[in-house]
Amino acid sequence: MPLLEGQQPEQGTWHYLHIDRSAPAPRSVRLISDVDDTVRHTHVLGGARQVFKNVFVRPTHEVQIPHAREWYAALADAGVAVHYCSNAPMELHLVVRGYLHDAGLPHGHLVLKHYPAASASSLLSSWLQPAAARKRTALLGILDDWPESTFLLV
């Protein structure tokens, strides 16, 4: 549900763009892709130090998943819209968006997680929490926003 002016997000909620459902969807096939350990070797299971190194230290070419760029580009060239979903905190939007750009991945809708009152250490540790349940709301939001579309989930 969109936030009204002046409202604060609930703790641990996802924020994503709500699309006017009365407008016709320009693309009928959509790809919803995780970012971490799907299009970038983040190595979430390796712990906070490994995540930090792979996100902030290692160059893009060292953390790219082989052939992801080519496959995603071929899908986008065929008219598939791309949605990226990550447990990365919203505060790292520019970092995640920068990686997607530098890796040559197709432009797409990016959904990140809101973690309230996050410190630098809790932002990084948030990536290490189990992802499935928290991503469910974001995924359902995307599915609801384009009910006429067919989805590929990666």
Pairing verdict, β 109-113 and 81-89: parallel
Residues 6 or more apart whose Cβ sits within 8 Å of residue 14: 111, 113, 114, 134, 137, 138, 141
Which residue in the block uniquely carries the two structure tokens 């790809």? 31
Residue 34 is assigned to a structural domain of this protein: yes
What's the CATH code of the domain at 39? 3.40.50.1000
pLDDT at 129: 60
> In the predicted model, what is the mean pLDDT of residues 91-109?
94
Cα dihedral 144, 28, 17, 90 sign: positive
Residue 37 pLDDT class (50, 70, 90 cuts): very high
Residue 43 is assigned to a structural domain of this protein: yes
Contact criterion met (CB below 8 Å) for 40 and 99: yes
- This prediction has a pTM of 0.74
Residue 5 is assigned to a structural domain of this protein: no
Averaged pLDDT score across all residues of the chain: 81
Looking at per-residue confidence, does 41 or 127 come out higher? 41
Residue 118 is assigned to a structural domain of this protein: yes
Residue 19 is assigned to a structural domain of this protein: no
Look up residue 61 and give its two tokens: 């070419």
Residue 143 is assigned to a structural domain of this protein: yes
pLDDT at 96: 95
Number of domains within the chain = 1
As beta bridge partners, residue 152 has: 31
Q: What's the domain range around 117?
A: 29-153
